[in-house]
Copies of this chain bind each other. A is one copy, B any other.
Amino acid sequence: MGDYQVTNVQQDALGAVQLELGNPNALALRRPFDPLAHDLEPSFRLTRFADLKGRGCKVPQEVLNKLVEGLQQDYNNAAEHEHAHFMHMAIPRIGIGLDCSVTPLRHGGLCLVQTTDFFYPLVDDPYMMGKIACANVLSDLYAMGVTECDNMLMLLGVSTKMTEKERDVVIPLIMRGFKDSALEAGTTVTGGQTVVNPWCTIGGVASTVCQPNEYIVPDNAVVGDVLVLTKPLGTQVAVNAHQWLDQPERWNRIKLVVSEEDVRKAYHRAMDSMARLNRIASRLMHKYNAHGATDVTGFGLLGHAQTLASHQKNEVSFVIHNLPVIAKMAAVAKACGNMFQLLQGHSAETSGGLLICLPREQAAAYCKDIEKQEGYQAWIIGIVEKGNRTARIIDKPRVIEVPAKE
């Protein structure tokens, strides 16, 4: 029997959660998470329940490629033989580096589009952590232009190191954040799985059944397109810098380039950004005829740009000139030497923005439209030129400092 499905229990209100939430529709009014208000130790930090943070937990790309080789080979064989009917679909080859898996169904031209992701706490506010995890899972659908999610499942690992008290406070808040984000996305969480695990784990599955015209196969970039990015970089730098406020020896390494206040602002900007859905960004991809997109997560801007480039039908390459970064985080990254490789495009992001190939004449309108609808900027960060399906960042990219919202 599955672990839990949403069942018909007679409520009841979770006092502490209610306290925390205030008006769930007015995020700005939310009080920040205060361990004391929940009878937890003031030193309680959700991020201490895992040794890796957010999408920094990914198995490195090259290791993963090696590990899945066996699978892929067989799959290719199967695709050539039993599943040759896939070739009649609009999908050139199923799953080639797509953000989602796309499975043709037995039922009248429909496809099942699915994605899954899970990771470790990277912010200390459990409710926000739940929202970020949900936004991050949905982001893979949005990257493919799929704006409707039919169903979500939640995957939770409760840390073996949590006290009962901590567990009873933190886990419902995470669940609530996840669910609120799903509601905001117009979908629901109908089930999932919860286990105990040394590290706290949070993630989910997002699924949609749709017609082929509802998604955008990300392989259609042409020379002359421009690259748009819809969220600033630097989330991993910001959450680390914030954690270092408690760690003098770490803090000393960066305090010459950044103030405490700067770090707190950057952290809130990062939380805000990671919790924001890429749904409108996705919807506008249809309006402005996007040629393909991906979302920027664990492999960093350049890693994902390279993957996207490698799957293009045309002989194109991506060149990135501009790096929008959460204010001051470029300086912090530089002060940390090679640790983040932010300006080299390798810093992991969590629930990052969409990186979109747009026709040159549409890109400015796309950026204007998203800002009008959401109040957040998007940036033209590069171009698509003739090439051999690679991506690079120019030698001295322009860093765009993106301030925290006031």
Contact = CB atoms under 8 A, between A and B. Distances in A.
A71 B201 CA distance: 18
A103 interface: yes
Interface in A55-75: 57-59, 63-75
B1 A95 contact: no
B115 A57 contact: no
A17 B58 contact: no
A3 B205 contact: no
Contacts of A143: 1
Contacts of A362: none
A71 B189 contact: yes
Nearest to A218: B1
Nearest to A173: B70
Best-surrounded residue of A74, A76, A297 (most CB of chain B within 10 A): A74
A225 interface: no
Contacts of A183: 78
Interface in A194-236: 194-199, 201, 203, 205, 207, 209
B100 A69 contact: no
Contact of A73 (B13, B98, B103, B199): B13
Nearest to A311: B7
A14 B112 contact: no
Interface residues of A, number: 101
A13 B87 CA distance: 25
A291 B181 CA distance: 37
A188 interface: yes
A95 to B, nearest CB: 4
A52 B1 contact: no
B76 A194 contact: no
Nearest to A93: B8
A151 B103 contact: yes
A304 interface: yes
A35 to B, nearest CB: 19
Given A58-B196, A67-B168, A100-B191, 11 more contacts: A1-B294, A1-B297, A4-B68, A5-B96, A12-B69, A51-B160, A67-B175, A67-B194, A71-B189, A95-B190, A106-B150
Closest 6 CB pairs of A and B: A101-B190, A101-B191, A198-B198, A5-B95, A103-B151, A11-B73
Interface of A: 1-9, 11-14, 17, 51-52, 57-59, 63-76, 78, 83, 93-103, 105-108, 110, 112, 114-119, 140, 143, 148, 150-151, 153, 155, 158, 160, 167-168, 171-172, 175-176, 179, 183, 188-199, 201, 203, 205, 207, 209, 294-299, 304, 307-308
